[in-house]
Structure 1
Amino acid sequence: MSIFARAFKRESVDNYMQADSHMSRILTTRDLIGLGVGTVIGTGIFILPGHEAAQHAGPAVSIAFLIAAIYSGLSGMSFAEFSSAMPVAGSAYSYGSVIYGEIIGWLLGWSLILEYFLAVSAIATGFSAYLNNLLLTFGVHMPKSLLAGPMEGGIVNLFAVMIILLVTAILSRGLNASKKIENGAVILKVAILGLFIIGGSFFIKHTNYVPFYPKEFHTGLLGLNGIMSATASIIFAFLGFDTIAAHAAEVKNPQKTMVRGIVGTVLISALLYVLFSIVLTGIVNYKQLGVDDPAAFALQAIHQTQFAVVITVGALVGMFTAILALIYASSRLTYSFGRDGLLPRSLGKISKSSRLPVNALLVAVVIEAIFAGLIPLNTLASLINAGTLLAFTFINFGVLILRRRPDLAHDGFKVPGYPVIPFIAGIISLYLITKLPIDTLELFSIWVLIGVAWYFIYGMRHSKLS
């Protein structure tokens, strides 16, 4: 067999099912929605609406969030069909290995591992900034050397490292304890967001909506470049349903539960993001919102300082739940690589006592803590969207292949409007990739090349397929 043919050899779903049989299937629809909303309504809702309004879309940022939600919903249905047909760990990595061949699956997984690791670290860094601001409100001053890494003139971002270690301690107690904490924190976070949306609506000035889509952003095709650039940047906010697919091996009745969890996550998150953006840009003019804490800034602008403290607490809870869900997902993806031999086999072992991939969890946490403690937020966030959109592209187009594979016939959820909807979602994915900054695409290309080199030097020789 040639190297090319070996690289595109396809994995068997039965092998994955057998390897994952030691994992406990205990997650319900409510648990999946808790994980999904916990991830989606994290740093994104407390930072992105302000930045994107100021830089790309003005008050029309709410339209960008709506477009991103519709696109994410279409892509989410493709993930739901795959997870229904293949209820295994690994998300796009496992699906790609079965549909396209091992090397494509590996590169999708390689992209997702970058997405997950950087997202955890970026959100932990944001958590540190919000926590420091809250402490300053109460007169507590932390030394700068413990609030930033060497690239920003400090020693280590201590709060960012500590929140990752705290979440790891919770996850190590087992899935039951983790999901209860996650579900409870998500309810609290949604309640605080609801409070902002309802309370803030009384302070809206309709003049802030004029112009709704400012002329300075009218560039590109039909003048929509500003909105579409905002949409491409916002995709990061909707990676939560992607993490749901990573837990398919631990879900009860995945043929029905997965689609309910994914679609429920997208609908709830879309409603909150759109309403939040409308209220935010109504309280304060969009030109003033290019700050890292736009909600708290808007409330301070209307002299609601105590309310701003409540929102800051909501932001901390939101970021906590996102970190928990993403560490959970990144450890499952790392486990999948070890399970298949593309990374050291020890990462694919399940603890007999806790039924958790402990080695994979520890490796993921160490890398994420190092990134969070030493690297600035803007550097971490620049690459996240590229990996997400690449995975969406292959999974949407992959549905077209999945339906034509007689050995992968399934009776679970199927994307409606086949083949038009998955094809359109795939085209949109490619288009949004072109809207990302050039330097982001260049850095992501380097990451992909490193992944290709690793596969041919280590992965191919140690893979179970060999």
Structure 2
Amino acid sequence: MAGCCSTKDEFLPDESFQSWANYVQALRETGMRLKDRIAARSMDDTEINEVRARSGHEMKRNLSWWDLIWFGIGAVIGAGIFVLTGEEARNAAGPAVILSFVVSGVSSMLSVFCYTEFAVEIPVAGGSFAYLRVELGDFVAFIAAGNILLEYVVSCAAVARSWTSYFATLLNHQPDDFRIHIASLSPDYSRLDPIAVAVIVAICLAAVFSTKATSRFNYVSSIIHLAIIVFIVAAGLSRASLKNLSDFMPFGARGLFSASAVLFFAYVGFDAVSTMA
């Protein structure tokens, strides 16, 4: 049991907690410390060496460039093709769908170039948080870290929730037939989705069990999905009609950029790819 217990100095190593006088002094300096933290910036060497050394253990590198490429493609296919197409179509109907893909694709490409540059210069697992600590400071990095966590929670929830819709369609049911309605909650949040929760838990356990095996499953399924998408596009073009190109933006520029903003949601994969790299 002795090895499981910690002393006060081990549990509260900071000098501010060594005595009440130190603690009171630290409280008085809170404003000045916050000001310093807002303006403070990390150094490249700190992120690459000091922060990395604090973990105490090196992560085993078992993913290759092939795994990372298909990880990004899988994220885009999953969120962009199988989840967001209906939402995007409501914002920009008709040929504007193509334009919104182009707009979101260009903005995403520029973001990817930035991520690539940072990942090469600062090759650490902190990802966007580490890059912002160096370039813009701790305060901006702190705000961005909260946004990144929210981004992953929302994207994973959206993909898992869409799984219920596909499952219901397969069984010739409505998606809400498999969801639990809670009347006391807000109408927009009153449908609990136990199937989505089960899917997230299953995927999480699979990823924890073996990153490499999960990656293999991802790129095999992504290749199959990509082949199906190419077939659908080719088959659709054979039946395409030029009269559908008569009105490119039925909802104007506002609808185009609204749809592009929704589509950009599908490109969160490059943040994960740079972090994993």
TM-score range, shorter chain: 0.7 to 0.9
**Aligned CA-pair RMSD:** 2.4
Aligned residue in 2 for 1:442: none
Measure how far apart 1:143 and its partner are: 8.3
Any residues of structure 2 matched to 1:98-177 within 5 Å, and which? 98-136=134-172, 144=177, 146-150=178-182, 151=185, 156-177=192-213
Instruction: Tell whether 2:245 aligns with 1:245.
Output: no
For 1:200, what is the secondary structure of its paired residue?
Answer: helix
- Structure with more contact order per residue of length (Cα contacts < 8 Å, sep ≥ 6): 2
AA of the residue aligned to 2:255: G
How far apart, in 1, do the equivalents of 2:181 and 2:217 lie?
30
Structure 1 contact 124–164 (Cα < 8 Å) conserved: yes
| Residue type of the alignment partner of 2:36 | A
Separation in structure 1 between the aligned mates of residue 191 and residue 110 of structure 2, nearest angstrom = 43
Taking the aligned partners of 2:255 and 2:246, their CA distance within structure 1 comes to 16
- Match in the other structure for 1:334: none
SS of the residue 2:212 aligns to: helix
Aligned residues: 237
Amino acid at match of 1:108: A
Flag the structure with larger Rg: 2
TM superposition shift of 1:169: 1.9
Tell me, in whole angstroms, the C-alpha distance in 2 between the residues paired with 1:57 and 1:51.
10
TM-score (norm 1): 0.47
Cα deviation, 1:18-38, whole Å, max 9, x if unaligned, reads 246521222221111111011
Give how far 1:90 is off: 2.4
Question: Which structure 1 residue ranges, 5 or more long, are not aligned?
Answer: 219-223, 249-466
Q: TM-score by structure 2 length?
A: 0.77
Give distance in 2, aligned partners of 1:244 and 1:86. Answer: 14
Q: 1:50 to 1:121 in 2, by over 3 A?
A: closer
Name whichever of 35-44 and 17-26 sits farther off: 17-26
- The whole-number CA distance in structure 2 between the counterparts of 1:154 and 1:77 is 40
CA distance in 2, matches of 1:23, 1:149: 43
Q: Taking every aligned residue pair, what percent have the same amino acid on both sides?
A: 29
1:91 corresponds in structure 2 to 127
CA contact (8 A) 1:8 1:104 kept: no
Q: Relative to structure 1, is the Cα distance of residues 84 and 210 closer, same or farther in structure 2, using a 3 angstrom cutoff?
A: same
Q: Hey, what does 2:36 align to over in structure 1?
A: 5
Of 69, 76, 84, which aligns to 1:48?
Answer: 84
- Report if the CA contact (8 A) 1:53-1:59 is conserved: no
Question: Cα distance 1:73–1:119, how it changes in 2: closer, same or farther (>3 A)?
Answer: same
Give the Å deviation of 1:213.
Answer: 2.6
Equivalent residues of 2:157, 2:196 under 8 A apart? yes
The 5 A counterparts of 1:284-303 are none
**Residue segments in structure 2 that go unaligned for 5+ positions in a row:** 1-28
State which of 54, 66, 79 in structure 2 corresponds to 1:30: 66
